[in-house]
Every structure is written in C-alpha cells, then in structure tokens.
Amino acid sequence: MLHKEQNLETVLSEYKKEQGSLIPVLQRAQAIDGYLSKPVMSRVAGELGLYESDVYGVATFYTQFRFAPLGENIVKVCHGTACHVSGAEEISDSLCNHLKVEEGETTADGKFTTERVVCLGCCSLAPVVMVNEETYGRLTSDKVKKVLDKY
C-alpha cells in the first residue's frame, strides 16, 4: 500500500508544482482513506487550480477510484479470460454467498469489500482471488471460503 501516514497536505505540497499530477495525487489521497470523499476532491481541485468537475471527471473515468468507504479487507475476484474459462463465476458466487453480499458491496460488519476485476495477470493459476496485496490461485468454491477465514 501507499504510505498511510502521509496526510493530504504532504501529498499536495509534494505534487503541486508537477505537471499533470492529478492522477498520482488522487491515488495518494485514496490511499489515506481508502476512497475519495467529496471534501477531498474539492481540496485537490483547489490546490491544483482545477475545476471540481474536472477532478470528478478524471476520478470517475478510471476504475481504480472509489467513492465510498472500504471494508477492512478488499477481496478482488479476477474475471480475466483464463479465470472466466476456469470457473471465476462459481468463485464469485461462492464468495458472495459466504459473505452474504452482492459483488461490489461491503459486508455488514465492515470486514470485507468484494470487487470484480478484469485481470490480475496470474492467468496460469486461474481462478485467482486477491485479498489486499496477497494473491491466491488454483481456487475452488470451497477453497475460497477457507482463504477468507484467514482474515
């Protein structure tokens, strides 16, 4: 993860003079809270001399940016081609059943947020799930539940 201890002020002062720094600033800002709140985006716009609508336009263009708080752990289920033909849909179903959420949602206790991603690049281990920065491969509907129990 990026440096959590860094607050928005340091990020902004670091990048303020750099050309085209909006995306790295948003990435750093998101690393602080796990998502981009409205006040944070306004602050970024003000400091970088951009319209708020521009900042929002850029943030919503890229899938990396989130606009709601995250759970404690983020579970990314890979739906790349290799995972798709190896049963990624079953993994997603099993995981969502187990956590009692829909894909993209956060569990009631705030412990997990699930997310559907395009490709994690570990195709020969398909199907693959990534929890935070840890990747788990060759999963089955049962194995994925055991992976979650570790957290």
Whichever of 22 and 70 has its CB closer to other proteins, that residue is 22
Stretch touching other proteins by CB under 8 A, among 5-13, 37-45, 106-114, 121-129:
121-129
Neighbours of 103 (CB within 10 A): 14
Contacting residue, 12, 41, 136, 144, with other proteins by CB under 8 A = 136
Whichever of 70 and 119 has its CB closer to other proteins, that residue is 119
Find the shortest distance in angstroms from Cβ 52 to other proteins: 15
Whichever of 70 and 123 has its CB closer to other proteins, that residue is 123
Three-state SS at 151: coil
Contacting residue, 5, 17, 19, 49, with other proteins by CB under 8 A = 19
Distance CA 49, CA 56 (A): 14
Is 145 a binding residue for other proteins by CB under 8 A? The answer is no
Indicate the burial class of 119 (C-beta count within 10 angstroms; 0-12, 13-18, 19 or more).
middle
| Contacts for 139-143: CB closer than 8 Å, 24+ residues apart | 139/91, 140/91, 141/90, 141/91, 141/93, 141/94, 142/94
Is 120 a binding residue for other proteins by CB under 8 A? The answer is yes
- Edge-to-edge strand order for the sheet containing 129-131? 112-117, 73-78, 129-131, 134-136
Is 65 a binding residue for other proteins by CB under 8 A? The answer is yes
Contacting positions for other proteins (CB under 8 A): 19-24, 26-27, 57-58, 61-65, 79-82, 84-86, 90, 93, 97, 117-126, 128, 133, 135-138, 141
